[in-house]
Chains A and B, each alone.
Chain A
Amino acid sequence: GENVEQHPSTLSVQEGDSAVIKCTYSDSASNYFPWYKQELGKGPQLIIDIRSNVGEKKDQRIAVTLNKTAKHFSLHITETQPEDSAVYFCAAGGNTPLVFGKGTRLSVIA
């Protein structure tokens, strides 16, 4: 089955700096790669996703890149703000239920 590895597990950045979170997956059949943000005491919420026919997708300060050959994808957050502080999860799937990474706790220091 699918296996998703996510790094780093924790990340601290200064406000205004960029943050990058990386994930690798094992199943070449996976074709859908979403990223979720989880704030304290809440359920995860989708922030951006990418499909296998696209290499990069951007939404304001958030971007995701996908390298299907290497089986890895990354989340990039630019101009970080304190409200970006949360746990971020990557996931991979498609025709099977999504498999999630273990999460990255991002702290943005003002």
Chain B
Amino acid sequence: NAGVTQTPKFRILKIGQSMTLQCAQDMNHNYMYWYRQDPGMGLKLIYYSVGAGITDKGEVPNGYNVSRSTTEDFPLRLELAAPSQTSVYFCASTHDRGRNTIYFGEGSWLTVV
């Protein structure tokens, strides 16, 4: 199993551009998450999904969109990129919410200039 796979690893965006961060898991997990990590600020939940076709906002959803058309994939869309979206983004998944191990991807480093 590859676990949670994120692409791209690194990306530089110009202000106002859009892009999609890809996330795929091969563990047949129901729950998937997107977090952003800023220096000294821990992990903030952007969006999460409890299954295909279902998504919900986390703590910091503004400026982002997600979709969950399949169990495996959970892409994160950035529309009109802003410098405040410069961060490291982590996708994660778990079989069941809360009490099971969350598996994280390796992260995507995004810089908006």
**Do A and B interact?**
yes
Please, which residues of chain B bring their CB within 8 A of the CB of A41?
A: 106-107
The answer on a CB contact under 8 Å between B101 and A93 is: no
Q: Which residue of B lies closest to A49 (CB)?
A: B101
Closest CB-CB distance, A84 to chain B, in whole Å? 19
User: A87-110, CB under 8 A of B: which get 1 and which 0?
Assistant: 001000111111111110000000
Interface segment among B11-19, B38-46, B70-78: the answer is: B38-46
Q: Which bucket holds chain B's interface residue count? A: 20 to 34
| B contact patch SS | loop
Number of A-B pairs whose CB atoms are under 8 Å?
Answer: 59
> CA–CA, A101 to B42, complex, Å?
6
Is A26 in the interface zone, CB < 8 Å from B?
Answer: no
Is A46 in the interface zone, CB < 8 Å from B?
Answer: yes
The answer on a CB contact under 8 Å between A43 and B105 is: yes
The answer on a CB contact under 8 Å between A43 and B104 is: yes
Is A45 in the interface zone, CB < 8 Å from B?
Answer: yes
Is B51 in the interface zone, CB < 8 Å from A?
Answer: no
Is B61 in the interface zone, CB < 8 Å from A?
Answer: no
The answer on a CB contact under 8 Å between A44 and B90 is: yes
Please, which residues of chain A bring their CB within 8 A of the CB of B104?
A: 36, 43-45
Please, which residues of chain B bring their CB within 8 A of the CB of A68?
A: none
The answer on a CB contact under 8 Å between B58 and A97 is: yes
The answer on a CB contact under 8 Å between B42 and A97 is: no
Q: Which of A49, A94, A98, A99 neighbours the largest number of chain B CB atoms within 10 Å of its CB? A: A98
Please, which residues of chain B bring their CB within 8 A of the CB of A103?
A: 40, 42
Is B98 in the interface zone, CB < 8 Å from A?
Answer: yes
Is A61 in the interface zone, CB < 8 Å from B?
Answer: no
Interchain residue pairs with CB less than 8 A apart (10): A44-B43, A44-B104, A46-B101, A46-B102, A51-B99, A94-B98, A95-B97, A96-B98, A97-B58, A102-B41
**A-B pairs, 4 with minimum CB distance:** A43-B104, A102-B42, A100-B43, A94-B98
Instruction: Other than A49-B101, A89-B42, A97-B45, give 14 A-B pairs with Cβ distance below 8 A.
Output: A31-B98, A32-B99, A34-B101, A41-B106, A43-B90, A43-B92, A43-B105, A44-B43, A89-B43, A96-B98, A98-B98, A98-B102, A100-B35, A100-B44
